[in-house]
Amino acid sequence: MSAIAIESVQTRRFWGLAAVGALVLGAGLVGAWMMEHHGHVITGMTNEIVWGTPHVFAIFLIVAASGVLNVASVGTVFGQAAYKPSARLSGLLCVALLTGGLMVLMLDLGRPERLVVAATHYNFTSVFAWNVFLYTGMFALVALYLWTLMERRMYRYSRPAGIAAFIWRIVLTTGTGSIFAFLVARQAYASAVLAPLFIAMSLAWGTAVFLLAEAGLNAWRGTRPAPEFQRRVAKLLGVFVAAVLYFVVVYHLTNLYFAKQVAFERFILLDGGIFPALFWLGYVLLGSAVPLLLVWRPAATSRALLGAAALVVVGAFAQLYVFIIGGQAFPLEIFPGYEVTSAFRDGEIAGYAPSVWEVLLGVGGVAAAFLIVVVGVQVLDFLPDETPAGVRGS
């Protein structure tokens, strides 16, 4: 196949992918409009569970945005030459995922037009105010980093820019974890373990997203991924998945050490209905154990490595659903040793069932990130220089 024919096929694929992404994004915006117009009464969220399914999507996208810079950091900051060609794609994915996650958060506020208030009035005793600066700083630093990578005259500054982005993303993920770690109004949270847990989760989820995105883009562009590089990244993924599993074990053992947390741990791990099922089957088995077996199996195929990455993403959503929704569903024990009853269902397990509008908004954030990547790759030189598979040998 000639280069001109391949370019024509790629262009048609681009418009097809862009159309699908725009359609899904439009559905997400419809979900956001319905929630804004009718109120959160049409969702599954209640006075007890104020962070619903959109927050599961948003936190995943924001945390993965930090971790997807792993490839760029390993190449630029730690000097591993094999990773440097993919640094630009790594940076693009970071910007795209962060944009999609913040879009979901802003549209779930109920009054997104009041974002200007949050951007101009700061309460520096709130970790939420800190994150306004962390998110905007992340955009600025990654944009600067990408400039140094794509402009030949600026390339000599790529390592300082990469180091700054690396440090900032660790701080950003610490801030995201601290949103929960500093929250004492829920027994599931208020733990110092959450900050390093979120850092580990970002490393694992971002690496999994990179593997899947790279494979998808290679299929679109008609190029073949370098098997050795894919195996390198997959090995990193295995290390990060094991680290997340370690911190999750530490988190639950820490809770079990305190008598006041035993009832909550029993709820999450044994008696909580959907939450123990998602935790043990969704996160521990499918999201951790199976990917580790696939990644560390000798002579693992490319399909197995991509399957492991996909399962890590599935496990991430299961883990976040248990952590965010389950953490709110369990009642806060305000007066230990006493039974509390009132008209506001104090002391009762809160019910929650996500509505279609919540799911649409969350998927819309993913579609926004998808569109940014597709358009970015089509317009600018974000992909490593590869020869199309159909041209090789011609």
Question: Which pLDDT score, from 0 to 100, does residue 89 have?
Answer: 93
394 domain-assigned: no
194 domain-assigned: yes
Confidence of residue 102 (pLDDT cuts 50, 70, 90): very high
Q: Compute the distance between CA of residue 121 and CA of residue 107 in angstroms, rounded to an integer.
A: 19
248 domain-assigned: yes
Question: Which pLDDT score, from 0 to 100, does residue 177 have?
Answer: 87
130 domain-assigned: yes
Decide if 256 contacts 314 (C-beta within 8 A): no
In this predicted structure, the answer to whether residue 294 has a pLDDT above a threshold of 90 is yes
> Tens digit of pLDDT for each residue in 351-366?
888 999 999 999 999 9
C-alpha atoms less than 13 angstroms from C-alpha of 365 in its C-beta half-sphere: 31
Which region, left, alpha or beta, applies to residue 79 given φ > 0 means left and ψ of -120 to 50 means alpha? left
Question: Which pLDDT score, from 0 to 100, does residue 342 have?
Answer: 66
> Tens digit of pLDDT for each residue in 315-345?
999 999 999 998 888 887 766 666 666 666 6
Question: 3-state SS string over the chain?
Answer: CCHHHHHHHHHHHHHHHHHHHHHHHHHHHHHHHHHHHHCHHHCCCCCCCCCCHHHHHHHHHHHHHHHCCHHHHHHHCCCCHHHHHHHHHHHHHHHHHHHHHHHHHHHCCCCHHHHHHHHHCCCCCCHHHHHHHHHHHHHHHHHHHHHHHHCHHHHHHHHHHHHHHHHHHHHHHHHHHHHHHCCCCCCCCCCCCHHHHHHHHHHHHHHHHHHHHHHHHHHHHCCCCCHHHHHHHHHHHHHHHHHHHHHHHHHHHHHHHCHHHHHHHHHHHHHCCHHHHHHHHHHHHHHHHHHHHHHCCCCCCHHHHHHHHHHHHHHHHHHHHHHHHHHHHCCCCCCCCCCCCCCCCCCCCCCCCCCHHHHHHHHHHHHHHHHHHHHHHHHCCCCCCCCCCCCCCC
105 domain-assigned: yes
- CATH assignment of the domain containing 291: 1.20.1630.10
107 domain-assigned: yes
Confidence of residue 394 (pLDDT cuts 50, 70, 90): very low
The mean pLDDT of the chain is: 86
Confidence of residue 141 (pLDDT cuts 50, 70, 90): very high
Quote the number of domains for the chain.
1
In this predicted structure, the answer to whether residue 382 has a pLDDT above a threshold of 50 is yes
Which residues in 32-54 are b (16+ Cβ under 10 Å) and which e?
bebbbeeebeebbbbebbebbbb
Confidence of residue 301 (pLDDT cuts 50, 70, 90): confident
Cβ neighbours of 128 (radius 10 Å): 12
Domain containing 90 equals 3-378
Report the range of poorest mean pLDDT among 66-70, 119-123, 326-330, 389-393: 389-393
In this predicted structure, the answer to whether residue 163 has a pLDDT above a threshold of 90 is yes
268 domain-assigned: yes
Report the range of poorest mean pLDDT among 100-104, 116-120, 188-192: 116-120
For residues 45-53, give the mean pLDDT: 86
In this predicted structure, the answer to whether residue 218 has a pLDDT above a threshold of 80 is yes
383 domain-assigned: no
